[in-house]
Amino acid sequence: MPLIRGREVEGAIARDALEDHFWLPRSADPAPTLKAFENGRNRIVAIAQRKLLARPAEPLWLTANDFVAR
């Protein structure tokens, strides 16, 4: 869970975000899914922190669109 202003925040990431941006195979079982998340953890947490700072009242739900370079 990311730390935002000193507190832990729960959230979720869409599977298609892991597939599209973190090289998770479409038919992967839980072990490779966790590995893809762990491998991308720093980037995922950075995006989560930015999203929470921009929209602190909304639930944290990361989608593939959140990882598209702007």
Digit-coded pLDDT (tens) for 2-15: 566 677 888 999 99
Within a domain: 23: yes
CA–CA distances in Å: residue 4 to residues 9, 23, 48, 55, 62? 7, 27, 9, 12, 15
Per the structure block, which two tokens stand in for 35?
Answer: 């590995």
Q: Is this model's pTM higher than 0.85 or not?
A: yes
Q: How many domains does the chain have?
A: 1
Digit-coded pLDDT (tens) for 14-41: 999 999 999 999 999 999 999 999 999 9
> Is the separation of the CB atoms in 14 and 6 below 8 Å?
no
pLDDT band of residue 1 (cuts 50, 70, 90) is low
Within a domain: 67: no
- Full residue range of the structural domain in which residue 17 is found: 3-62
Within a domain: 70: no
